[in-house]
């Protein structure tokens, strides 16, 4: 590039969205839970959730390493390596994933590591190119993560549309795909793995930092003050010595646990709730409604990242975090009853997805505000560890109570000699636990104050 010239910073946003579009496939996991619970896999509900949780936890842990690496080697090679690891994990999971152990390793651990390597790069690069729009740009950069889940859900599970007023039904790759005579789930993994590999490598091409001292035209950096403005740069060691880090960490964990719980179990919960309320006559009918709720959850997840991020630039990060936590608490309390109707299940999923998406715009922006723009890639990795904890706790709690109810129903059926009916009551306790966590997050957000600036 000629001296004094810089590339158009919006090209970075395009590359970021393309990368995040692929990484968001992990949020499509619920579409696989039902076929994995049947032949030839016969996984338990807890096993399907443990694969999902392993991916989330590995994602969070590896992101700390990725933050260090991209600061030393530059963002482009880390994004490229992450794309190759992610693609390889899914391809191997497709070729050899006939057992829980192999899927846990390939999809959960290897796939999660690929996401963790790549995820922080668009955020760190975006904040440096857009110091004037941190909330909006982090929301836009990671919106692809939420929107991508919709594409992967519908490609796998199928959809109906109207093309030139002619109804067209796409049955889905789970039904139609037969790569090397593999079962549907494994065939989809192979197809997705190849797509992830190609698209992330393409997006990584524009993952480059701006020149040293770069400032957008017409923007003046804020002076160093005690306010959360991004003007106070801290290294990770300094950040870890502040109470603000631990408060942000806990708020993120509390809010993420609710959203991840719903992502992991919405298909199972929707089928149970709609059948128990007699809204759906059978599991197949309930599954269609739950699939729609899952896809719309992903769309609102993406919108939530953009809208909450942009809103926080206007009302402040603290106020946005508080409101988001309160709204999520209320919705998790209502979701058990609302999910007993088709409309309620869809609306509830949309609200939860919208609030959940806000986390991924607000927390990177808050990390930059409180601890500085310079080291946001590394510092946000430490904050993001809370997401890994939430990724284990949320789905595991839901899976535990579901398996507990399934065993109780099996025992009752043996004793009575009759098949037990569908019981949706099992989902009440997990949702109340998630609501209580969100309430705690709201309280912590109210108490949150920016760290004091250090003076020479």
Would you give the DSSP letter of residue 214? -
DSSP sequence for 422-436: ---GGGHHHHHHHHH
In whole angstroms, give the CA distance from residue 140 to residue 306.
5
Which domain covers residue 310, as residue numbers?
10-212+227-447
Residue 218 in domain:
no
- Total domain count for the chain? 1
Q: CA neighbours within 13 Å on the CB side: how many for 113?
A: 12
Residue 453 in domain:
no
Whole-angstrom CA distances from 258 to 115, 293, 353, 426, 434 are 21, 16, 10, 16, 5
CA nearest to 45, candidates 426, 424, 406? 406
Predicted structure pTM score: 0.75
Residue 2 in domain:
no
Residue 221 in domain:
no
CATH number at residue 309: 1.20.1250.20
Percent of the chain with pLDDT over 70: 90
384 backbone φψ class: left, alpha, beta (φ>0; ψ -120 to 50): alpha
Per-residue pLDDT at 418:
56
Burial class of 233 by CB neighbour count within 10 A (0 to 12, 13 to 18, 19+):
middle
Whole-angstrom CA distances from 109 to 46, 50, 261, 326, 398 are 17, 11, 19, 33, 21
Per-residue pLDDT at 1:
45
Residue 24 in domain:
yes
Per-residue pLDDT at 11:
93
Per-residue pLDDT at 167:
58
Residue 69 in domain:
yes
pLDDT, tens digit, for every residue of 268-307?
888 889 998 988 888 888 888 888 888 788 889 889 988 9
- Identify the segments of the chain with pLDDT beneath 70: 1-5, 160-168, 222-231, 408-422, 453-456
Residue 128 in domain:
yes
Per-residue tokens: 203: 């997006």
Per-residue pLDDT at 417:
59
CA nearest to 298, candidates 343, 371, 356? 356
Indicate the average pLDDT of the chain: 86
Per-residue pLDDT at 338:
93
- The length of the chain is 456
């Amino acid at each position: 590039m000629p001296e004094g010239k810089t590339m158009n910073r919006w090209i970075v946003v395009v590359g970021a969205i393309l990368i995040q579009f692929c990484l968001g496939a992990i949020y499509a996991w619920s579409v696989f839970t039902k076929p994995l619970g049947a032949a030839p896999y016969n996984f338990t509900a807890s096993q399907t959730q443990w694969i999902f949780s392993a991916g989330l936890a590995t994602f969070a842990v590896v992101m700390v390493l990725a933050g260090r690496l991209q600061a030393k080697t530059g963002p482009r090679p880390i994004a490229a390596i992450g794309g190759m690891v992610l693609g390889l994990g899914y391809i191997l999971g497709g070729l050899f994933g006939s057992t829980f152990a192999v899927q846990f390793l390939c999809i959960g651990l290897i796939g999660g590591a690929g996401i963790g390597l790549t995820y922080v790069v668009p955020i760190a690069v975006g904040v440096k190119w857009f110091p004037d729009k941190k909330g909006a740009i982090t929301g836009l950069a990671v919106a692809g993560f939420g929107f991508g889940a919709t594409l992967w859900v519908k490609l796998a599970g199928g959809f109906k549309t109207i093309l030139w007023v002619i109804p067209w039904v796409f049955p889905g790759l789970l039904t139609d795909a037969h790569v090397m005579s593999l079962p549907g789930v494994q065939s989809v993994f192979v197809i997705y793995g190849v797509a992830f590999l190609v698209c992330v490598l393409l997006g990584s091409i524009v993952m480059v930092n701006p020149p040293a001292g770069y400032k957008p035209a017409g923007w003046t950096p804020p002076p160093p003050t005690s306010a959360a403005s991004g003007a106070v740069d801290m290294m990770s060691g300094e950040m870890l010595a502040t109470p603000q880090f631990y408060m942000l960490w806990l708020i993120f964990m509390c809010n993420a646990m609710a959203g991840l719980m719903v992502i992991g179990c919405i298909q199972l919960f929707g089928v149970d709730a709609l059948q128990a309320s007699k809204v759906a006559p059978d599991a197949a009918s309930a599954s269609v409604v739950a699939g729609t709720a899952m896809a719309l959850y992903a769309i609102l997840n993406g919108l939530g990242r953009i809208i909450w991020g942009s809103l926080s630039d206007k009302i402040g990060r603290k106020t946005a975090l508080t409101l988001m936590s309160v709204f999520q608490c209320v919705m998790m309390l209502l979701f058990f009853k609302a999910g007993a109707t088709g409309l309620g299940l869809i609306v509830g999923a949309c609200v939860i997805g919208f609030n959940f998406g806000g986390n991924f715009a607000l927390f990177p922006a808050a990390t930059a505000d409180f601890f500085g723009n310079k080291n946001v890639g590394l510092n946000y990795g430490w904050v993001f560890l809370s997401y890994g904890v939430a990724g284990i706790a949320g789905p595991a709690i839901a899976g535990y109570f579901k398996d507990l109810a399934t065993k109780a129903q099996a025992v009752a059926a043996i004793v009575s000699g009759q098949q037990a009916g569908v019981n949706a009551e099992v989902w009440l306790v997990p949702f109340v636990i998630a609501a209580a966590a969100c309430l705690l997050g709201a309280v912590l957000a109210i108490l949150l104050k920016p760290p004091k600036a250090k003076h020479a």
